[in-house]
Amino acid sequence: MKRTPFVIALLYLLIGIIWIVYSDRLLAALAQRTGWQAVEHWQTAKGIGYVVITAILLFIFIRRLHKHLTRAEEDYKRLFLENPQPLYVFDVQTFRFLEVNKATEAQYGYTREEFLQMTLLDIRPPEERERFLSLNHSIADKTIHYWGRWRHLRKDGKPLTVEIYTHPVVFQGKDARLTYVRDISAVVEAQEDLAELEHKLQAIINSTDDAIWAIDTQYRLMVFNQAFASIMQLRTGKTIEVGQLLWIPDYDNTEQAAHWIDAYRRALAGEKVEFEEKDVLPPEEKIRYAHVSLNPIFNSKRQVVGVACMLHDITSLKEQELQLEEALERYDLVTKATNDAIWDWDIRSNRVVFNNQFWQMFGYEPTDQGGQLWEANLHPDDKERVLQGIQRALQEKRSLWADEYRLRCGNGKYKYVLDRAYILYDEHQQPVRMIGATQDIQLQKEYEQAILRQNEQLREIAYISAHEVRGPASALMGLFMLLEEHYHIRNHLDHPELMPLIQESLEQLDAVIHKIVDKTSQLMQ
C-alpha cells in the first residue's frame, strides 16, 4: 500500500510519454498523406482521447486503492471492536470515551452509547480519582505506557482490579490514548487468599514447639517456623532467612554431622527418612532427644523438588523410657526369683516384647509376633472377657489392669495365669505403653481345686453323719426309752444296773455324731 502512489504516478508517466511519442508520429505520417489541415482535427481528438483514457485509468487505480483502504479500515475496526481484550480510546483533554469495544461493554456492563456519554472518572471509585488526575496524559509520550494497578467499578457497583496499558493516538482529530484494560480481580483475589492461607499456615506452624522447615534441591531454606529459627540461633549464633543456604550445624561429633547430610541426600532421592537425634543445646543444658522426620516434596511430575522436615522433642518421653528400662532391669532381677514373665506392649506400634521367662514358662520359641501368639492361645471361654477388659481399662484411662485367665502352652495344655499391668499415657492422655507381669498360678489353681474336691468329700461325710449315722442312733435312743418305760411299768428288771450304762453309751454316741457334723461344717466354711 505504501508504494501504490508511486506505481500510479509511474504508470501515468509511461502512458503519457508513449501516447505523446507514438501519437505525434502517427499524426505526422497522416499529415504527409492528407495534409496538415485534416490533422488539426485529429490533434484535438488525440488530446481528448488522452484525457479520457488517463481519467479512466486514474478512476480504476483510485477505486482499487479506495477498496484497499476501506478493507483495511474495516479490518482495523474489527480488530478493535471484536478484540477479546477490553480496549477503549479516550480524549486526553476531557477524559471522555471516544470509542469502546465489545469486550469493554461486557466487562463493565455499560453500552457503547452510555460509554460515549461518560468520562474515565465515572468508572473509578472516589479514592482513585485524584490519583488518576495526577497522571501525565501527554500525547508527547509515543511509547506504550504501563499505568499500574487500579480499582474500577462496574455498572452494577461491583469492584474490579485491573492493570492498564496505554498508547498515544490521534482519533477523530483529537489527541487521545488507546487503552488496554486487563482484569486481574481473580488473580488478586487468589493472591489475597494465598497470602491469608500462608499467614494461617505460619500461625499454625509457629504455634507448635516442633521445629518445622523445608529446603529445595540446592539446600536453600524455603520456609521455617520460629522453633527452628530459635534452634539455629542457639546452634550457630546467627539469624537465618528464607533463601539462604542451610549449613549443617558444626557438630562436635563428625559422625552425627555426616548422619544429617546422608539423611538429607536420601530424602532428596525420594526416600522418607526418620531417626532419633541426641544433642545438647546449649552445652550447659541437659541432653535433649528428638524424633526427626524428613519427607520428600514431589511436583506434578513426581520429581523431588525439596524436603519437608520436622523435629519433635521427645526428651520427656525418652527420659521415661530410660527410667522404665532401669525399672524393668530391676524388676527383671526380682522376677528371676519369682519366675514371673514380664511383657511390654508398645500401643502405638502394636508391638509386644516378652522376656525369656515367658517363653520358658509356656514352652514356645521366641518370636517377634509374641502379641499375636498370646492372643491366639487364650482359652476360648476367657478370650473375649480378657480383651474387652484391656480395652475398657484403656478407655477409662486406668493406670492398673489385672485378670486371671487360661493360656495354652506349647504342649497343648492350658495353664492358669494371673496377669497384672501398669498403663503409661502421653501428655494428651493417650495410652502409649502397657507393662505387665504374668504369674503362673497353675499349682495354686490345682490346690484350690483339690480343696474344693475335699470340701465335697467333707460335705458327703457330713451328710452321712447327719442322716445315715445319726438316724440309727436316734432310733436306738427311742427304743431304749420305750424299753425303760416298759420295764418300769412291769417293775420287772433282771439286771437294773445295765440300764444306766446303756443310756450313757447312747448319749456318748449321740454327742460324737454331733461333734463330727459340727467339725465338718467348720471345715467347709
Q: Taking the chain, what is the end-to-end CA distance rounded to the nearest angstrom?
A: 129
Please report, rounded to a whole number, the percentage of residues in the chain having pLDDT higher than 90.
Answer: 23
| pLDDT of 142 strictly over 60 | yes
pLDDT of res. 151 = 92
Determine the Cα–Cα distance for residues 290 and 277; give it in Å rounded to an integer: 5
Residue 430: burial class (beta carbons within 10 Å; 0-12, 13-18, 19+): exposed
Determine the Cα–Cα distance for residues 12 and 54; give it in Å rounded to an integer: 7
Rounded average pLDDT over 501-513: 66
Determine the Cα–Cα distance for residues 177 and 175; give it in Å rounded to an integer: 7
User: Could you tell me which residues come within 8 angstroms of residue 261 by beta carbon, excluding any fewer than 6 positions away?
Assistant: 248
26-30, 149-153, 302-306, 408-412: least confidently modelled range: 26-30
pLDDT of res. 306 = 93
What would the 3-class secondary structure string for 201-230 be? HHHHHHCCCCEEEEEECCCEEEEECHHHHH
Instruction: Please give the C-alpha separations between residue 489 and each of 425, 483, 484, 494, in angstroms, as whole numbers.
Output: 92, 10, 9, 14
pLDDT of res. 408 = 92
Helix (H, G, I), strand (E, B) or coil at 257: helix
Q: Read off the pLDDT of residues 355-375 as tens digits, 9 standing for 90 and up.
A: 888 888 888 988 888 889 999
pLDDT of res. 96 = 94
Q: 356, 364 in Cβ contact below 8 A?
A: no
246-255, 274-283, 385-394, 414-423: least confidently modelled range: 246-255
DSSP 47-95: HHHHHHHHHHHHHHHHHHHHHHHHHHHHHHHHHHHT-SS-EEEEETTT-
Residue 113's pLDDT band, with cuts at 50, 70 and 90, is very high
